[in-house]
Amino acid sequence: MPTLGIDLGGTSVRAAVVDAKGKLLSSAKVAVTDRKPPGVVETIAQAADEALKRAGVKVDGCGVGAAGQIHKDSGVISVAPNLGWRNVPLADLLQKRLGYGVKVVNDLSAAAWGELHAGAGRGSQDMLVVFVGSGVGSAIIADGRLVQGGGGVAGELGHIKVVPGGRLCGCGEHGCLEAYVGGHNLIAQTKELLASGRSRILESLVADSDPDSITPVTLEKAADAGDAEAKELHERASRFLAIAVANQVTMLNPSRLLLGGGVLTYCPGIRQRVLDGVQMWSSQTSREGLLVADAELGDDSGIIGAALLVA
Amino acid sequence: MPTLGIDLGGTSVRAAVVDAKGKLLSSAKVAVTDRKPPGVVETIAQAADEALKRAGVKVDGCGVGAAGQIHKDSGVISVAPNLGWRNVPLADLLQKRLGYGVKVVNDLSAAAWGELHAGAGRGSQDMLVVFVGSGVGSAIIADGRLVQGGGGVAGELGHIKVVPGGRLCGCGEHGCLEAYVGGHNLIAQTKELLASGRSRILESLVADSDPDSITPVTLEKAADAGDAEAKELHERASRFLAIAVANQVTMLNPSRLLLGGGVLTYCPGIRQRVLDGVQMWSSQTSREGLLVADAELGDDSGIIGAALLVA
């Protein structure tokens, strides 16, 4: 029987009906207007109803992928920063409202699960998925099972320390990988560089001299065009990421490494640096038999994975 | 029913009969004289017979912990450096000889399994075990299961790169954690320092000026006594280890972190640095609820764990 997948974000809920093979049969999106738990539960139910009506089928379970820290057995969301939630028993609340089983997992875990069963991870049992978008995150599959950690927050690759005491990260700590190579921070560092007046080539690449037009691609273009300062910044960020990913390959010995997220998709220079780094710096035994591929389900990976988690 | 645990080293085989709770009922040790697979299988069978005779019980399974790279499903030893083995189907060979089921795992995985069920890991489901002895290794338990990796070599903490292109490691690569903080390498670096003639305090601590009397404890003593160069070496090694362990806590979110091995046991300064590093550098969410403890089964952890893996 098909199942329901939910992608719960801070501004909208997306629901989809997904068949047992991971094919998306229908989907619906509803804006989150009331962020309190009962309001969000109603919004999820609305989106679910709409998706079910469109697909014209019944489902017998619902999986939810949510940005945040989720207790793996109870489905309680300990912390969901973009909803302002602490300790919300979402699985229970939603199960009461929908009338069938609900499982809640972290959004990256859901995405990894989707890639594993219906995307670039098919055929693999041991996988590391690295996403570099505005933030940096990862998900771990070992022996076909999600590694969630004792508190449900395993995979926080963005918050490993690469420069203890270094740049302030959005998490409040210093020197995290994300503070150097997360998209938000690549932009912030590029803006700092622009403001310093030391980078002529970068200046020439910023549209209308408007710092708000800067993206990570602007930095990569400036580096490619020979801007020494931009190159240094780009190189530092790429190198931190490449070493971090290589070291996780050494630790986890995945048979597949998937790369995804906007920065890795639109900055081929950073992506290439990661590929090179894995070859150079992961231990020889750990990279034997390793396949590196790009995540292929894009924005649908989480919703498909959430649905497949209860299939 | 009790089971048999085997600790397969390069110079000796130890066999033990272990009950279902992880209690060691008897043990026997036999030297390895013939390192070819049939010879080692015979040696294991000898040690097993002796242990069984001493315990006066029957067993219905045998677990083997071996230093090397082991294919997790087949029990084939891909590489065992200290036996000079490549692709030896030990599980099959031994099963034919003993007449009951045999499971072969990496020695650190066996040790972690022992600690999980009969040692300092009891009650935990998500655990990271870090051993720093002559080498540096780790083992990962997620959701009560061993994380072995696609090729059976997960947990190679000693071979993550801390200084890309840095000190040559015994594995043939450069800049591995083990090249700085593994016991062998702590000794090598301390000898280099002694030979440089720059460390008076260190010189005064080396018995009979014999470099071969140096242990990691010598380095720690020199650092504690205020030898600036020894302090720098000690600090660098401890810091690399502390950051590496903290970062793995961030990635894996274990509920328990166990520390073991000679260096962490006999160099309290290095151990303390790891404890401090985990507090300072692991992500806040990952260290919530984390318990840090010392491995408590010592040399028996592997043999007990191997036996419990088939119990």
Backbone angles phi, psi at B162, to 5 degrees: -105, -25
Beta bridge partners of B290: none
CB contacts of A173 in chain B (<8 Å) are 283-284
CB interface of A with B, residues 211-270, below 8 Å: 243, 246-248, 250-256
pLDDT tens readout for residues B22-56 = 999 999 999 999 999 999 999 999 999 999 999 99
Give every strand in the sheet of B12-18, ordered side by side.
Answer: B24-31, B12-18, B3-8, B62-66, B102-106
Compute how many other C-beta atoms are within 10 angstroms of the C-beta atom of residue A224: 15
Handedness of CA A250, A255, A261, A266 (dihedral sign): positive
Specify whether the CB–CB gap between A283 and A254 falls below 8 A.
no
Residue B68 has pLDDT above 90, yes or no: no
Residue B81 has pLDDT above 90, yes or no: no
Taking an 8 Å cut-off on Cβ atoms, the answer to whether A149 and B253 are in contact is yes
**Domains in chain B, ordered, with CATH?**
3-116+300-309 (3.30.420.40), 125-295 (3.30.420.40)
The pLDDT, as a whole number, for residue A191 is: 97
Backbone angles phi, psi at B136, to 5 degrees: -125, 125
The pLDDT, as a whole number, for residue B72 is: 82
Interface test mutation site (partner B, options A87, A240, A253, max chain B beta carbons within 10 A): A253
How many Å apart are CA A71 and CA A68, to the nearest integer?
A: 10
CA torsion angle A12 A261 B161 B278 (round to 10)? -10
Which of left, alpha, beta for B239 (phi over 0: left; psi -120 to 50: alpha)?
Answer: alpha
pLDDT tens readout for residues B255-292 = 999 999 999 999 999 999 999 999 999 999 999 989 99
Residue B193 has pLDDT above 90, yes or no: yes
How far apart are the CA of B197 and the nearest CA of chain A, in angstroms? Answer: 32
Taking an 8 Å cut-off on Cβ atoms, the answer to whether A140 and B251 are in contact is yes
Helix/strand/coil for B169: coil
CA torsion angle A41 A45 A51 A54 (round to 10)? -160
Residue B100 has pLDDT above 90, yes or no: yes
The pLDDT, as a whole number, for residue A209 is: 84
Residue A291 sits at the chain B interface (C-beta within 8 Å): no
Q: Could you tell me the two tokens for A235?
A: 């190189």
The pLDDT, as a whole number, for residue B306 is: 98
- Residue recorded with tokens 């000693």: B158
Beta bridge partners of B147: B140
The pLDDT, as a whole number, for residue A130 is: 98
pLDDT tens readout for residues B9-21 = 989 999 999 999 9
How many Å apart are CA B128 and CA A130, to the nearest integer?
A: 21
Residue B157 sits at the chain A interface (C-beta within 8 Å): yes
Specify whether the CB–CB gap between B297 and B115 falls below 8 A.
yes
CB contacts of B154 in chain A (<8 Å) are 126, 142, 251-253, 286
Q: Could you tell me the two tokens for A141?
A: 């599959």
- For chain A, the residue count is 311
Taking an 8 Å cut-off on Cβ atoms, the answer to whether B159 and A283 are in contact is yes
Taking an 8 Å cut-off on Cβ atoms, the answer to whether B156 and A247 are in contact is no
Taking an 8 Å cut-off on Cβ atoms, the answer to whether B150 and A246 are in contact is no
Interface test mutation site (partner B, options A251, A253, A278, max chain B beta carbons within 10 A): A251
**For residue A114, what are the contacts with CB-CB under 8 A and spacing of at least 6?**
A22, A297, A300, A301, A302, A303, A304, A305, A306, A308
Res. B240 pLDDT band, cuts 50 70 90: very high
The pLDDT, as a whole number, for residue B94 is: 97
Pick out chain A residues at pLDDT < 50. Answer: none
How many Å apart are CA A244 and CA A277, to the nearest integer?
A: 9
Residue B71 has pLDDT above 90, yes or no: no
Q: What angle do CA A257, B72, B91 make, to 5 degrees?
A: 160
CB contacts of B283 in chain A (<8 Å) are 153, 156, 159-160, 171, 173, 176
Residue B135 has pLDDT above 90, yes or no: yes
pLDDT tens readout for residues B283-311 = 999 999 899 999 999 999 999 999 999 99
